[in-house]
Amino acid sequence: MESQQQLQGPRRPARIGICGLGTVGSGTVNVMARNGEEIAARCGRPVEIVQIGARRDNPACDTSALNISREIFDVAANPDVDILVELIGGTTVARELVLTAIRNGKHIVTANKALIAEHGNELFAAAAKKGVTIAYEAAVAGGIPIIKSLREGLVGNRIEWLAGIINGTGNYILTEMREKGRTFDGALGQAQELGYAEADPTFDVEGIDAAHKLVIMASLSFAIPLAFDRVYTEGISGITSEDIRYADELGYRIKHLGIGRRTEQGVELRVHPTLIPESRLIANVNGVMNAILVNGDAVGPTLYYGAGAGDEATASAVIADIVDVARTLESAPDQRVPVSGVAEGGQNGGDVLPMDEVVTSYYLRISAHDKPGVMSQVARICSDQGISIEALIQHEPADGEALVPVVILTSRAKEGRLRDAVAEIEALDTVEGDVVRIRVEPLG
């Protein structure tokens, strides 16, 4: 029997317009040119780039046969474009561009996590109203199909927690510092040269980029609205090679993690440097690689690993989205996978837990004067807050040094109580300067 498709004849090409021809834009053009035949076969129709919006050509890709406009809004207005691929970054022009394209009935593919995390609720509502879709696989963990996994592969589960290395630049810096003894600034400069960093690299090193990605994953995992302003965010700019060394000595690696967890009291949403036992797979994810552990009640722990940034790795995710959208161009909106992971009215996963209520363990590094009694004072302060000391490193002071670094691993405690204990420790006459505090997660 002839299929409906055979009766209708070959499907017309899916027509895409790409805005932004930087790292990801050029990677997308190159991979589409190289793998065009396979992509068309998987799509069931050719995929044509009908227009590119770019301020200037990019020598990293050949666009000589393509229609380029110097004005990106031309792409949003082009009646021949079915899918607008937003790769300019930022949240101002990109928001306007996407809203205009939606108003003009275009589907959206974007790699822009800032845009989705900060304006996704508005954009998703606009898209739903117009009956178009927004796909954003490249926005989280670059080439790793984590959005697909959360939104489709794991839908049978109640997701309990997830923890991920979701910023390639930050992981590259920490790896270079630990393995090659490089300085923070030297490693960051290299990450920028390699095209991993955001236009403003403070987004990478201060955890903002990871917070963007975490809220997107958490929204899908826990059925909550995108809540970027509720994420506790701490960067890696304060991590020293000394702390990396002490962590090693204790059997841990320091990684910059985004953590989301369902608790009875609410959903934890936090980004911060974290000590992880060195035996965990995720502790050994290095360089620009990303990895996300997702724990579902039915499937148990799952781990997703791959390149979190870079031109072609990110293009891989952009093209996966283009194919997903192109396959369903003729589908009714309610037959597509919901953009936010749940059907309308289904975002009822509860509120975000205040950081003071979060329970975890801590690494503390205290600079103490080499006098008797410091340790008993610290132990008393901790014990008064219900915190016990699980491990301790205290080396002899270096020659001529008056200060001794004391490193402690604590029991699990509420963040608020730990903060009060740290304030009391810092106020001791025998302690100098701020106490370094890094959270510890067993992840098992």
Ligand X SMILES: N[C@@H](CCO)C(=O)O
Rule CB under 6 A: is residue 111 a binding residue for ligand NAD?
Answer: yes
Q: With both helix axes pointing from N to C terminus, report the angle between 311-327 and 36-43 in degrees, rounded to the nearest 10.
A: 30
Which of the residues 314 through 343 are near Na ion (CB under 5 A)? 317
Query: Six-digit token pair at 81?
Result: 């474009």
Determine the size of the site formed for Na ion (CB under 5 A). Answer: 6
Rule CB under 6 A: is residue 204 a binding residue for ligand X?
Answer: yes
Rule CB under 6 A: is residue 28 a binding residue for ligand X?
Answer: no
Which of 18, 21, 358, 436: binder of ligand NAD (CB under 6 A)? 21
Rule CB under 6 A: is residue 138 a binding residue for ligand NAD?
Answer: yes
Q: How far is the CB of 250 from ligand NAD (least distance, A)?
A: 33
Task: Kindly write out the interface string for residues 276-315 of this chain, putting x where it contacts ligand NAD by CB under 6 A and - elsewhere.
Answer: ---------------------------------xx---x-
For residue 348, give every residue at least 6 positions away whose Cβ sits within 8 Å of its Cβ, in sequence order, or none.
223
- Count of Cβ atoms closer than 10 Å to residue 378 Cβ: 24
Rule CB under 6 A: is residue 142 a binding residue for ligand X?
Answer: yes
Rule CB under 5 A: is residue 425 a binding residue for Na ion?
Answer: no
Nearest-CA neighbor of 412 among 385, 393, 388? Answer: 388
Mode of pairing for the β-strands spanning 232-233 and 266-277? parallel
Which of 17, 168, 258, 341: binder of ligand X (CB under 6 A)? 168
Return the one option of Na ion, ligand X, ligand NAD, none that residue 23 interacts with (CB less than 5 to 8 A, by type).
Answer: ligand NAD
Per DSSP, the residues of 133-184 read: -EE-GGGSSTTS-HHHIIIIITTTS-EEEEEEE--HHHHHHHHHHHHH---H
Nearest-CA neighbor of 416 among 365, 355, 362? Answer: 355
Which of 113, 148, 213, 255 is an active site residue?
213
Decide: helix, strand or coil at residue 105: coil
d(CA 244, CA 176): 11
213 is catalytic: yes
d(CA 173, CA 176): 5
Which of the residues 177 through 216 are near ligand NAD (CB under 6 A)? 195-196, 198-199
Which of 23, 78, 221, 410: binder of ligand NAD (CB under 6 A)? 23
Return the one option of ligand X, ligand NAD, Na ion, none that residue 167 interacts with (CB less than 5 to 8 A, by type).
Answer: ligand X
- Chain-centre distance of CA 236, in angstroms? 15
Mode of pairing for the β-strands spanning 68-69 and 403-410? unpaired
Between residues 187 and 421, which has the closer beta carbon with respect to ligand X? Answer: 187
Strand partners, 109: 85, 135
Residue 311 phi/psi, 5-degree rounding, is -60, -60
d(CA 191, CA 171): 10
Return the one option of Na ion, ligand X, ligand NAD, none that residue 22 interacts with (CB less than 5 to 8 A, by type).
Answer: ligand NAD
Which of the residues 123 through 162 are near Na ion (CB under 5 A)? 137, 140-141, 144, 146
Which of 33, 60, 68, 93: binder of ligand NAD (CB under 6 A)? 93
Which of 18, 43, 85, 87: binder of ligand NAD (CB under 6 A)? 87
Return the one option of Na ion, ligand NAD, ligand X, none that residue 137 interacts with (CB less than 5 to 8 A, by type).
Answer: Na ion
d(CA 317, CA 139): 9
Task: Kindly write out the interface string for residues 299-338 of this chain, putting x where it contacts ligand X by CB under 6 A and - elsewhere.
Answer: ---------xx-----------------------------
Catalytic center residues: 213
Binding positions for Na ion, rule: CB under 5 A: 137, 140-141, 144, 146, 317
Binding positions for ligand X, rule: CB under 6 A: 142, 167-169, 196-198, 204, 209, 308-309
